[in-house]
Structure 1
Amino acid sequence: MHKSLGRVALRGRVGRSVRYASTTSEAAPAHSIPTAPSTKYTSVTHPEDASSISPPVKTFLDRANKYILPVYARPPFVLSHGKGAYVWDTEHRKYLDFSAGIAVNALGHADDGLVKVLGREAETLSHTSNAFHHQWGPKLAELLVTLTQKEGGLGYEAGSLNPPVGEAHGAKVFFSNSGTEANEGALKIARFTGKQRWAAKAGKTWDDPSCDKYEIVCFEQAFHGRSMGALSVTTNPKYQKPFEPLLPGVKVGKLNQTDGLDTLITEKTAAVILEPIQGEGGINAADMDWLRKLRKRCDETGAVLIFDEIQCGLYRSGTLWTHSAYPVECHPDIVTMAKPLANGFPIGAVLMRNKIAEPMTAGTHGTTFGGSPLACALGYYVLSRLSERAFVSNMTETSTYLQARLSQLPKWFPDILLPTVRGRGLILGLGFKDASHPGKLVNMARERGVLVLTAGKDAVRLVPSLNVGREEVDLAVDVLESCLGSLSQS
């Protein structure tokens, strides 16, 4: 970072001046942090009003409305292709993508190496079902386990390679097709483990009808998926109400609230599931002391602790897992993953400690498509790239710069923004005082060529590709600043 003692205006790519610091008459290096907000605001370059929709786009939208189930609210344009951090629509308009397919495209769009792997493996063996072995499943599973042991997770201290006390060395992986399916698998595995633990304690068999260890604990503002089990632990009335009754035995707590943990998690609790950093719920991070007490309570009751790292894991928070940066007494028994694992090709996974995997035998869980040769080959390639030290170092530098730039915005727009930037790494959020503003800002930014997302009721979410550059950071934050400036005048 460079000290900002002055301002030099250079013509930016978003139609207004971009400030760079200067301590002398010479221009300072690019990417210095601006010291004051701009007074020049970007104009609409990607309009979405009805008059701007061309006949070909209208024809496409009419076809979509006629034949596709209307469960998504989408803007009125059609994406055609992408490269790196950018996408283009059929009208040849360019967008900077700071949504990355909802935190999926870790390597950006149309990554050259990924395209080569995709073509090579599609010509070789794309699907076998899980009735047969193939070479890529074990390779990807081994990489997930060994990276976790090396970088920290599931009870391993980063760099120690020592297994958790009293446990057999290693962990196991189950491959699914999505994050929702990974969470469904984790909940099933945790329930079966709960029955086994109850049986061992009660001196009965796990299938005894008197077994009452089946309850699941989740937390407010969580998002774990939309299938019936995952939906049951996604505590948003908008998502749940139309599909009730849901899975029985679900109890809901509040993230970071210690009071009441003893009554929330009891001997009847089979599983506790949470996101270390809530994504859809507003970029809310779990507190370390609270996690330590939560882990202790799970151990006391024999509950399986599940961390849903589908959005915050696989280096998005700056480390392999968000919990890789935690002390081992805050680690889970199971971690679920999906979004960036194959950079957009469908795959998910459940990674669990060996003691959790022990009850699972042939037929206790399964999938037709999960862990296909093609998906696992792509996952192996992506994870190998993401785990390179140079890649992680570059991502850390970029995220530090992005956070520094974002941290100026609440100072400049205190009437609009809450004072603290939320999140870690490249899963970041701006909190708003007025709940109507996040949606407005997302629309305004999109009409100025930058794609961002809302999160929860009060936040705008930034989850760009993990290889995004500083120039893209400047462009995105300049547009956000411009939108905030316009909101402040409205």
Structure 2
Amino acid sequence: MSGVVLDDGALVPAYARQPVQFVRGQGASLWDADGVEYLDLQTGLAVTSVGHSHPAVVEAIRAQAAQLIHVGNLFRATAPGAELAQRLASSSLGGRVHFANSGTEANEAAIKMARKAKRGGNVVSVHRGFHGRTYGSLSATPQEAKQAPFAPLVPGFFAVAPTVEALTAAIDDACAAVILEPIQGESGVYVLDDAVLRAAREACDRVGAALIFDEVQVGLGRTGKLWAYEHTGVVPDLMTVAKALGGGLPIGAVVTNERFAEGFEAGDHGSTFAGGPVPCAAGVAVFDIVSDPALLARVRERGERLRHQLAELPGVVEVRGRGFILAAELDPSRAEPATALIGRALRDERLVLNATGPTTLRFLPPLTITDAELDDALARIARLLDPQVSA
């Protein structure tokens, strides 16, 4: 397939696409249609966390697809779905699991579950949050550029500053749920203060509201612990996961505590494809990899080292994040915005990066990336940021 770039002009232009067509991936590397190799520090936005085409994930998909691809949810869960649900619940909140196809769908289900339990009520989120693009999750995403074209949104959603005082004041008897990302990834990797999470937990307990943690981007080892909330000492009632869970296949999930284990009755919510045997088989393989204590320890240790290394690069004024979800804030006086820099990174350094704003670079390397690959990536980033290069 070398040199062949298939025309994608039949697609609706809903994405700002870079002019590269990838045809193969392995580990931390991607190859384009001309056979050129790239180093991937974006991982499909935290999806291919175990690397591209991990042998265990590929084999799980192959074996399950040869046995049973789809049967639907009008029968008992297939073995991969039952096993993955058990692992997700027992490793975290101890309740049950409701499968979805994506992070935004998982958040929709969690919001519905919380509102049903309270027989209605408001949903509180915080500024800079991102929870998806379907109507409920979009209504919980207080970003004007994303919301405005699709108004009117779902009523009963309110956003406040991510502070103890603002959350405490907003969470009252009319509140059904508070939805928070422990680390706000899409807006630039902002770690919510533990005091803010504790205040939300205490206020939810006071009024009987559900505390939802959106771990769609930061769960499954991305922070160096299996779940991001484990860093904080604050345990939610409901947790949403997706992205990395299927190793590249579409799958999401709501994990409940015991209180919400009976949160849905038959007919309350559903999906044709959710919990299918193939993505769940991939999920079991992914879970085996990312729950390895040695891998998690390395992500914590190497992530901290990466923080310091990024902070030493020219033009970097701040580094935020934890483990392998990091953001480098660039000097705003730079003439070249981060959104242009990622295009040059792709073209000149064969490096796949992501920008969340005009001065923010986000780094989401595979959890399995080697030290040599990280050192290589840092050298490429340093060349990109060198004033002589970017002038």
TM-score normalised by length of structure 1: 0.76
List structure 1 segments (4+ residues) > 4 angstroms apart after TM superposition.
none
Identify the residue that residue 42 of structure 1 maps to in structure 2.
none
Distance 1:457 1:331, change over 3 A: farther
| Separation of aligned partners in 1, 2:330 and 2:307 | 16
Are 1:317 and 2:217 counterparts? no
Aligned with residue 417 of structure 1, among 308, 313, 316: 316
Contact 1:318 1:392 in 2 (8 A): yes
> What does 1:337-348 align with in structure 2 at a 5 Å threshold?
337-348=241-252
Identify the residue that residue 121 of structure 1 maps to in structure 2.
64
Q: What do the CA deviations read for 1:107-132 (whole angstroms, capped 9, x no partner)? A: 11111121111111001011111111
Aligned with residue 79 of structure 2, among 131, 135, 138: 135
Identify the residue that residue 130 of structure 2 maps to in structure 1.
223
Aligned with residue 117 of structure 2, among 193, 202, 208: 193
| Separation of aligned partners in 1, 2:171 and 2:140 | 15
Q: What do the CA deviations read for 1:235-267 (whole angstroms, capped 9, x no partner)? A: 111111110000001111112x22333431111
Identify the residue that residue 249 of structure 1 maps to in structure 2.
156
Structure 1 residue runs without a partner (length 5+): 1-53, 149-153, 155-169, 196-212
Contact 2:161 2:167 in 1 (8 A): no
> What does 1:11-410 align with in structure 2 at a 5 Å threshold?
56-57=4-5, 60=6, 63-65=7-9, 67-133=10-76, 134-148=78-92, 154=93, 170-195=94-119, 213-255=120-162, 257-327=163-233, 330-409=234-313
Contact 1:104 1:344 in 2 (8 A): yes
| Separation of aligned partners in 1, 2:253 and 2:48 | 17
| Separation of aligned partners in 1, 2:182 and 2:141 | 15
The AA in structure 2 aligned to 1:389 is P
| Separation of aligned partners in 2, 1:342 and 1:219 | 28
Give, in angstroms, the shift of residue 487 of structure 1: 6.9
| Separation of aligned partners in 1, 2:358 and 2:177 | 27
Are 1:438 and 2:349 counterparts? no
Give, in angstroms, the shift of residue 395 of structure 1: 2.9
Structure 2 residue runs without a partner (length 5+): none
Identify the residue that residue 363 of structure 2 maps to in structure 1.
462
| Separation of aligned partners in 1, 2:226 and 2:138 | 26
Contact 1:442 1:452 in 2 (8 A): yes
SS of 1:293 mapped into structure 2? helix
SS of 2:158 mapped into structure 1? strand
Q: What do the CA deviations read for 1:89-143 (whole angstroms, capped 9, x no partner)? A: 0111110000011111011111112111111100101111111121111111111
Distance 1:111 1:223, change over 3 A: same
Give, in angstroms, the shift of residue 390 of structure 1: 2.7
| Separation of aligned partners in 1, 2:116 and 2:193 | 29
Identify the residue that residue 475 of structure 1 maps to in structure 2.
376
| Separation of aligned partners in 1, 2:304 and 2:165 | 34
- Matched positions, count: 386
TM-score normalised by length of structure 2: 0.94
| Separation of aligned partners in 2, 1:476 and 1:288 | 31
SS of 1:259 mapped into structure 2? helix
